[in-house]
Amino acid sequence: MSLDIETNSYGGGFATPPVDAANAFRAAMNAMARPGSVQDITGAEPPAGISAAAGCLLLTLCDPETGIYLAPDVDSPALRSWLAFHTGAPFVAVDKADFALGSWQALLPLDQYPIGTSEYPDRSATLIVELTEFAAPNVNLTGPGIKDSTQFALPDVGACQGNAAQFPLGVDFFFTCQSQLAALPRSTTLLAKD
């Protein structure tokens, strides 16, 4: 490991871990409880190549018991070193992932991730999808946590509808961009906008 990677892996974590982790966890849970709502999340400065929002999520949700899959577009020695130092989470193959990080295209196909079992539907992966922007809405969301309906932009409405059709199985999503995130749990119903 080069000295530069080693030095960078120690920095960029939460400055005040109890406070920053609590704020990040609240933002993540608010996003999951209110699908399609965009939340601010700050406190970490991950290595180049991923957003601050994705870095905050990983620091908050990952530990030595949660396996991380890094898609090829974000996988780097610097990110691996940073996550290993700050979370202790192991890096795993895609079919063993508790969390997976990357762009939408790099994370496909969705059927390669754990979707849980009928006895343990919670044993599924959560995908952290890096976006370049939160685009114009292309889908109406309804379901738990949504009063009436809300609009959101998904990178592939059909694939997300297919995932939701497996409920209570399936994967959950966080969408991250810069210092913001939104979530789409598998319990959400999706209807493409006309």
CATH number at residue 14: 3.40.50.11310
Q: Is residue 11 part of a domain?
A: yes
What pLDDT, on a 0 to 100 scale, did the predictor assign at position 14?
80
Euclidean distance between CA atoms 152 and 55, whole angstroms: 23
32-62 burial code (b ≥16 CB/10 A, e <16): bebbbbebebbbbbbbeebbbbbbbbbbbbb
What pLDDT, on a 0 to 100 scale, did the predictor assign at position 1?
45
Q: Is residue 29 part of a domain?
A: yes
Cis preceding-peptide flag for 114 (omega within 30 of 0): no
Q: Is residue 90 part of a domain?
A: yes
Q: Is residue 156 part of a domain?
A: no
Which amino acid, residue 69?
Answer: Y
What pLDDT, on a 0 to 100 scale, did the predictor assign at position 128?
98
Q: Is residue 139 part of a domain?
A: no
What pLDDT, on a 0 to 100 scale, did the predictor assign at position 13?
79
Tokens of 101: 């990080």
What pLDDT, on a 0 to 100 scale, did the predictor assign at position 9?
64
Q: Is residue 193 part of a domain?
A: no
What pLDDT, on a 0 to 100 scale, did the predictor assign at position 17?
80
Q: Is residue 155 part of a domain?
A: no
What pLDDT, on a 0 to 100 scale, did the predictor assign at position 5?
44
Strands (E), 48-145: 68-70, 99-103, 126-130, 139-142
Q: What is the mean pLDDT of each run of 10 residues along the chain (194 residues)?
A: 50 80 94 96 93 96 97 96 95 98 98 95 96 95 94 95 96 98 96 81
What pLDDT, on a 0 to 100 scale, did the predictor assign at position 12?
76
Q: Total structural domains in the chain? A: 1
What pLDDT, on a 0 to 100 scale, did the predictor assign at position 29?
96
What pLDDT, on a 0 to 100 scale, did the predictor assign at position 8?
59
Residue 74 is part of which domain span? 3-134+169-188
Q: Is residue 39 part of a domain?
A: yes
